[in-house]
Amino acid sequence: MEKYGNCLQTFQISNYLGTPYFMIPKKEDLILANKLVIYNNFTKINDCNGRLLVELQIYPIPRILWDFEILDGQVCDIPKIFDNPTQNCFMGTSLRVEALSVMSYNLITYARGSASKVFFGAPEDQAHTFHFCITNTKFLERCKAQDSYEETICEKRFLREENNALRSRRNVGRFIEISLNSIWSVKLEIMEDSLKWLNKEQGNIGTRLTSVGTLYQAKRADKADDFSASLSTLSLTEAQTMLNSLCRLLSYANGGRTAPIYIEGEIYIEGEKYNSQGSDQTVSALVRTDYQVTPLEQLGNSWLMEYSDLRIFIGCFSSFERMLTKQFWEGTFNFVLFQYFQAIRGGDWELVASATGAALERLSHAILVEDEANPITKVEHENLFSNDRKTRDSANKILGSGTKVTETRLNLLLQRIGLTTNRGFNDTHDVKDF
């Protein structure tokens, strides 16, 4: 067995029939699809020849399934091959299926299982632009404060469509564009079919890919002679990390977890001098299904209102990324997000109150103690969270002006983040009422 990264090359994908090794999925075909074939061709497991079928199943839950049909009555030692399935993968010249598990097998006829990642091309190859598809983007259906497509708009990719009816249908929807940092911007697009599927009046359930996004550089619009040299690049792995963080932020607006199931990287190739304007070429792609995603029927009613400004919210991304570099904020965000989802799903008011309280307690400790730079103030605040009642009550007498400890914590939290008033009167009663 030949070592390749963290995979053992027990599987070799071959091109016996002269057909392509694989076909990178078209992102448009993934939207609202139940499943899509990723690979269907001959392959080889050690000395066993067979046909490999790899499918991306999206509905009702995202997962990658594979099916290996053994040919010519050979006996393949499947159990031995999969002694450590997480270290094995299907390997080919430009295709890799990782994190395998075996669900069933017959030593002579077949083996079936699942996987969590499929790479097309090399994940470390650099690219200038990334396209991606994300799940159940309810926030794009809820929020109408976005730019609308009109049938008179025809972008380049629509102009290449021969089917005018299809082109017209795709031009009915919404999109939003915003800078993520000084280099990278993001565009999120949702078309009418997805908007209808997400509408709660339709009664749909499960998970589908509903939005296409683009991670790009705004300077793409200012083409110069040395245009490609002036562009920044990311590897597919780096882009995946950035988009995963973006989707975590968007999950807060979505009322449940959303994730980038499909990502592809493109490079810009300049045309010959005095001739063409250049073109884009896909160099790598990734299908990943080991993210947590929330089915449509379990999405809660988030804080997002009909005309909330998504641009301002997404504009917080750089600060959000910096926040997550601190380990305590990483853990705090995950905990608070989980409690937030519990609270916004409604149901029993005691469960909602408990989840809200747990989130606020954890958030208070993170901001008042863990993120406090002044050592004296940090100790004072930490005493408010002490398990020792005398220490806690003593700190509360100093900081709380007679209020209960929980009220003092929340009041200090709101003061710290600038959500209490400073208009000449005490608004502590507002905290108590809350």
367 and 428 assigned to the same domain: yes
In the chain, count H helices and then E strands.
16, 19
Give the C-alpha separation, 193 to 172, whole Å. 9
66 and 138 assigned to the same domain: no
Whether residue 293 is predicted with pLDDT greater than 70 in this model: the reply is yes
Question: What pLDDT, on the 0 to 100 scale, is given for residue 98?
Answer: 85
Tens of pLDDT, residues 173-182: 899 999 999 9
**pTM across the whole model:** 0.84
Q: Which residue has the higher pLDDT, 42 or 374?
A: 374
Domain limit, last residue, from 71, 101, 120: 120
Domain range for 376 is 335-433
Q: Among residues 185, 268, 278, 284, which one has the least CA distance to residue 230?
A: 268
Query: Hey, is 375 helix, strand or coil?
Result: helix
Question: CA torsion sign, 315 to 321 to 326 to 331?
Answer: positive
- Burial 416-426, CB ≥16 within 10 A → b, else e: eeeebeeeeee
Question: What pLDDT, on the 0 to 100 scale, is given for residue 427?
Answer: 57
Domain limit, last residue, from 285, 317, 349: 317
- What residue type is 307 in one-letter code? Y
CB 370 within 8 A of CB 328: yes
244 and 370 assigned to the same domain: no
Kindly indicate the confidence band of residue 422, based on its pLDDT and cuts at 50, 70 and 90: low
Residue 423 lies in a domain: yes
Domain limit, last residue, from 101, 120, 139: 120
CB 289 within 8 A of CB 116: yes
Tens of pLDDT, residues 237-267: 999 999 999 999 999 999 999 999 999 999 9
Residue 327 lies in a domain: no
Q: Among residues 122, 67, 52, 124, which one has the least CA distance to residue 93?
A: 122
Q: How many CB atoms lie within 10 A of CB 403?
A: 17
Angle at 265 between CA 8 and CA 181, to 5 degrees: 120
Tens of pLDDT, residues 38-92: 888 887 766 678 888 999 999 999 999 999 898 887 777 666 656 665 566 777 6
Q: Helix 317-324 to helix 236-254 angle, to the nearest 10 degrees?
A: 110
193 and 302 assigned to the same domain: yes
Number of independent structural domains in the chain: 3
Residue 330 lies in a domain: no
165 and 300 assigned to the same domain: yes
75 and 173 assigned to the same domain: no
Give the C-alpha separation, 36 to 30, whole Å. 7
